[in-house]
Amino acid sequence: MILNAYEKSGGNFQSDPFKDKLELIMEVNNLMDIQPRNGKYTWNNKRLGPGNIKEQLDIFLIHDNITLDFNLVTSQIIPSVASNHKPIAIKFGESKKFGPLPFRYNPLWINSKNVRNLVARDWKQSINGSQSIFLEEKIKNVKECT
């Protein structure tokens, strides 16, 4: 589906009747299109001269939170020789490092004897340092064992 006239080169642009529905779905679900880095058109009718028509038929729709989780999200058109259609690929960069994950207590742990034993064992380990370092290291040990 072509959403806008700029997604087509050559020929006549005709608005798809489902265009508004797709745009609403994208807006309601916070979806965004990741534009290819190396071009725009993924389909070509392979004609020469003024009869040549190119269209951007393929897009990647991803939730906008994904772009927050990764340093870089890109897409790229992959060349095709035999077909009139070019596939696209998406690439996710390294996920962002926000530091250590916070310790979160899971209420289901209270029912597990194994977790109780692990916590008791790790809490008994001796740690040297100030009270804040002591508590931080105890929680870190418990977090690592669960």
DSSP state of 33: E
Nearest to 89 by CA among 72, 105, 75: 75
pTM metric for this prediction: 0.54
Dist CA 32 CA 34 (whole Å): 6
pLDDT of 77-110, one tens digit each?
Answer: 988 878 899 989 888 877 666 666 666 767 777 7
Q: Supply the DSSP string of 65-96, one letter for each residue.
A: HHHHHBS-EEEEEPP-SSSSB--EEEEE-PBP
